[in-house]
Chain A
Amino acid sequence: MSTHLLLAEGIAIQGEGVTIAPFSYLLGPGDRLTLLGETGSGKSLIAQAIMGTLPKGLRAEGRLVIDGERFDAADNASRRALWGHRLALLPQEPWHALDPTMRAVHQVAESHRHVAGRGRRDAMYAAWADLGELGLAEAGTKLPGELSGGMAQRVAFAAASAGGAPIVIADEPTKGLDAPRRDAVVELLARTPEAAGALLTITHDIDVARRLGGEVVILRQGQVVERGPAQQVLTHPQSEYGQRLLAAEPSRWPRPQPLGEQQAPVVNADGLAKTRGGRELFRDLSLTVSPGEIVGVVGPSGCGKSTLGDMLLGITSSDAGHVQRATGHPLGFQKLYQDPPAAFSPHWRLSRLLDDLIRRHRLDRAKILPLMMRLGLDERLLTRRPGEISGGELQRFAILRVLLLEPCFLFADEPTSRLDPITQRQTLELLVELARERHCGVMLVSHDPALVERICDKRISLDGTSSLTGRELDTAMA
């Protein structure tokens, strides 16, 4: 009997414009391996290659040894018998991975019954025990649609691991979760190696990789860029890409230039309140935004961050209080969106959309080219449609579009949360620079407190649970 649980030798993936260069790894009891890479780096395919669930048109090569048994990676069907028993896969987006018409406890119990081979009654007991242990005792009779993202993640974990598989593969387990829930998932994952299993995690989140520890592999465009122990790779990376990736962490960003002297505010809100669906989001919230100032808003999802911004823009009404906007700027209040493609009609070329804007407001065409260069946008991009350029480019095009109207206030609603870390840093640095230069006040919503702490002049925290009243503004740049 060998001491390793999983040995992968020269696993490579080919087909349909995807190439993952061969790479090998070894996982023994208690080992943790984290594959770190941005979207499109092909990291999820590696999990699928191990499981044998690669989509049609993709082919795996190489050799796998699981529990001493050899498998050809190209033969997808060969690992099916191991599913649930030896190999467990924690799915991406657990919300969608649970059967929407089956109650949570039954989805766990069926694994106990049909995978672990317990009796009907035993399986139910075991399922309730699992849920209780994960703090889900009252969620057992609920349908997946009634669970929160974090709860669904735990139910999926219980269902996947009920078969007692020692090798756990977690594919983007923290996608779409906010900071506290992310930490809880990391703790959950750490149980496997603690129980002498092996954990393979695939993530784009450096923080998750750091917390999990073990070995880290950085992937870029299907190539292994760097690998080594987590402490070393995630503090002193050797590769150029690794260094850039790490430098893209908000805590390492350079601080922006100081704001300088305060001018008359562009937006002045006083005593705002909002209740939605019977829940009070905030009450008695007052704030001002000055020209060129960056105001950060943080808080858990659903706490009313976007609603607050929309109120300042005048898109949403408030239940109480009033908003005073600087006069003389009918088009001076603009917004950047979380998902860049969603903010454009996908059917028209960017040149057409830009042309529409120029004609509508009789703008000066001469201003466009320098601004595009400033934003790092190639003129050729204009012949494409919004869906045909990258998210980062499109978000910068959105900034271009907005800046042409010379705004005095910009509400940026998580403008970089769908972008990879390096692009996020570029985009936000540009945004801050341009805001300062053009005296445009910015309200920046983010789910990342570190980011807000780094670049914002002021911070507003909307804490949906602990306090219902908006906190006094606390200055982060102490």
Chain B
Amino acid sequence: MRAALASRTTPRWASHRAKGLGGLLLQRLFQAGLVAWMVGTLTFVLTRSLPGDMAYRIAAGRYGHDMVNTRAAEAVRAELALDQPALTAYIGWLWDLVQFDLGRSLVSGQPVVHELWHQLGHSLGLAAMAVLLSLLLGPPLGLIAGLKPNGWLDRVSEVAASVLRALPPFAVGLLLILIFSVSLGWLPAAGHGRTAHGVLPALTLALALAAISSRVARNAMADVSQSAYYAFSRTKGLGERLSFLRHGLRNAAVPVVAYLGVQFVYLIEGVVVVETLFAWPGIGHALVHAIVARDVPMIQGTALVMGLMFVALNTVVDLICHWLDPRRRSA
């Protein structure tokens, strides 16, 4: 879902150049707080909107249909604070959240934090592989295409990127499964355990990310290669190679890295779909399952972790931009 609902305008947090590093980090911290509050509030509304027999259904899910009785349902009700007035319950809900007390899963009965810990590892592994792959594919292609705008490589990569951008990641994933697992039998389609299992989901995400980052890199490089300072670097005698290395790369890298922040929206969203498609036991998969099962504490936990992961990744992008672009440091 890389194209789905990702804001193409960089959020204000990611684009502040006049702010020092401290101010930048403070803003990210504020964003993290906002994420926690929004997730907490929305999940609270969710608990309040559960239909009356929900406690029974959840209890049935946890203890088995034979064991369901009023007491089990009451226990669930208490866990979700459904027996308290709304405001008290809301404050208690947020207070638990602040203390990172996420409760127990209504389905498995395990502490949510415990489950998240495992899932986070899987998701981070997948995301890291995807980002790495996309960085190997996208920006180098874009930089070369951008050196010769409207050359054949530029056109071919543009068509490829248009096609990939119009294909949702689940469709890309399906096609990859059909080609590599079903037809060729090279890679396993779903599951988890060996490295081979991670290749297709990571490639699915990476293709989607590379489709965009290659174009961003291409546009950035085209801008740079047509800029007055690039022309000046060449006419003052540095030659093509040195001009590219000394003045092209860094200037083109700034927008590419800054855009990574926006891309993480795609990544987080893609994780949800791709993990579900490939049955990858990560956070996105867990979130979808929790929504289907209406496992409120798990919904809250997974959404919170994904939201915070988004903030953390953006913070990393901020730091890299800060390091790359001296204009931000001296501002």
Q: Find out whether A and B make contact in their complex, taking CB atoms under 8 A apart as touching.
A: yes
Query: Do A97 and B237 form a contact, CB below 8 Å, given A102-B247, A146-B330?
Result: no
Minimum C-beta distance from A322 to chain B (A): 35
B254 sits at the interface (CB 8 A): yes
Cα distance A89–B227 when bound, in Å?
15
Minimum C-beta distance from A126 to chain B (A): 14
Q: Measuring CB to CB, which residues of chain B are less than 8 angstroms from any residue of chain A?
A: 227-229, 231-239, 242, 246-247, 250-251, 254, 324-327, 330
Query: Do A97 and B327 form a contact, CB below 8 Å, given A51-B235, A163-B237?
Result: no
Whether the Cβ atoms of B326 and A98 lie closer than 8 Å is: no
Whether the Cβ atoms of A83 and B251 lie closer than 8 Å is: no
Whether the Cβ atoms of B327 and A159 lie closer than 8 Å is: no
Residue of B235, B238, B251, B326 with most chain A CB atoms under a 10 A cut-off: B235
Whether the Cβ atoms of A100 and B229 lie closer than 8 Å is: yes
Contact with B229, one of A83, A97, A146, A162 (Cβ below 8 angstroms): A97
User: Across the interface, which residues of B come within 8 angstroms of A87, CB to CB?
Assistant: 235
Whether the Cβ atoms of A101 and B326 lie closer than 8 Å is: yes
Query: Do A111 and B330 form a contact, CB below 8 Å, given A96-B227, A96-B228, A100-B229?
Result: no
User: Across the interface, which residues of B come within 8 angstroms of A182, CB to CB?
Assistant: none
A470 sits at the interface (CB 8 A): no
Cα distance A100–B326 when bound, in Å?
9
Whether the Cβ atoms of A91 and B238 lie closer than 8 Å is: no
Whether the Cβ atoms of A91 and B228 lie closer than 8 Å is: yes
A93 sits at the interface (CB 8 A): yes
Query: Do A84 and B237 form a contact, CB below 8 Å, given A93-B228, A99-B251?
Result: yes
Please name the residue on chain B nearest to A83 by beta carbon. Answer: B237
User: Across the interface, which residues of A come within 8 angstroms of B326, CB to CB?
Assistant: 101-103, 143
User: Across the interface, which residues of B come within 8 angstroms of A93, CB to CB?
Assistant: 228
User: Across the interface, which residues of A come within 8 angstroms of B228, CB to CB?
Assistant: 91-93, 96-97
Please name the residue on chain B nearest to A162 by beta carbon. Answer: B236
Whether the Cβ atoms of B254 and A53 lie closer than 8 Å is: no
Minimum C-beta distance from A143 to chain B (A): 6
Contact with A115, one of B231, B237, B254 (Cβ below 8 angstroms): B237
Whether the Cβ atoms of A101 and B235 lie closer than 8 Å is: no
18 contacts between A and B (CB under 8 A): A80-B239, A83-B236, A84-B236, A91-B232, A91-B235, A92-B228, A96-B227, A97-B232, A99-B229, A99-B246, A101-B250, A101-B325, A110-B242, A110-B246, A114-B242, A115-B237, A145-B327, A162-B236
A160 sits at the interface (CB 8 A): yes
Query: Do A111 and B231 form a contact, CB below 8 Å, given A100-B251, A101-B326, A143-B330?
Result: no
A11 sits at the interface (CB 8 A): no
Q: Measuring CB to CB, which residues of chain A are less than 8 angstroms from any residue of chain B?
A: 51, 53, 80, 83-85, 87-89, 91-93, 96-103, 110-111, 114-115, 143, 145-146, 156, 159-160, 162-163, 165
Whether the Cβ atoms of B327 and A101 lie closer than 8 Å is: yes
User: Across the interface, which residues of B come within 8 angstroms of A53, CB to CB?
Assistant: 231, 235
Cα distance A92–B242 when bound, in Å?
22
Please name the residue on chain B nearest to A115 by beta carbon. Answer: B237
Please name the residue on chain A nearest to B235 by beta carbon. Answer: A89
Cα distance A159–B247 when bound, in Å?
14
Cα distance A159–B246 when bound, in Å?
14
Q: Assuming A83-B235, A97-B229, A115-B236, what are 9 further A-B pairs, CB within 8 angstroms?
A: A80-B239, A84-B237, A96-B227, A99-B229, A99-B233, A100-B251, A101-B324, A110-B238, A111-B236
Whether the Cβ atoms of B236 and A159 lie closer than 8 Å is: yes
Cα distance A165–B237 when bound, in Å?
10
Residue of B234, B235, B236, B246 with most chain A CB atoms under a 10 A cut-off: B236
Cα distance A83–B325 when bound, in Å?
29
Please name the residue on chain A nearest to B242 by beta carbon. Answer: A114
Please name the residue on chain B nearest to A111 by beta carbon. Answer: B236
User: Across the interface, which residues of B come within 8 angstroms of A143, CB to CB?
Assistant: 326-327, 330
Contact with A91, one of B231, B251, B330 (Cβ below 8 angstroms): B231
User: Across the interface, which residues of A come within 8 angstroms of B227, CB to CB?
Assistant: 96
User: Across the interface, which residues of A come within 8 angstroms of B233, CB to CB?
Assistant: 99
Whether the Cβ atoms of B327 and A114 lie closer than 8 Å is: no
Query: Do A100 and B327 form a contact, CB below 8 Å, given A91-B228, A91-B231?
Result: yes
Whether the Cβ atoms of A85 and B237 lie closer than 8 Å is: yes
Please name the residue on chain A nearest to B324 by beta carbon. Answer: A101
Cα distance A233–B250 when bound, in Å?
48
Query: Do A96 and B236 form a contact, CB below 8 Å, given A101-B250, A110-B246?
Result: no
Closest 9 CB pairs of A and B: A84-B237, A115-B237, A97-B232, A96-B228, A89-B235, A83-B237, A97-B228, A99-B229, A99-B247
User: Across the interface, which residues of A come within 8 angstroms of B325, CB to CB?
Assistant: 101
Please name the residue on chain A nearest to B228 by beta carbon. Answer: A96
Cα distance A89–B228 when bound, in Å?
12
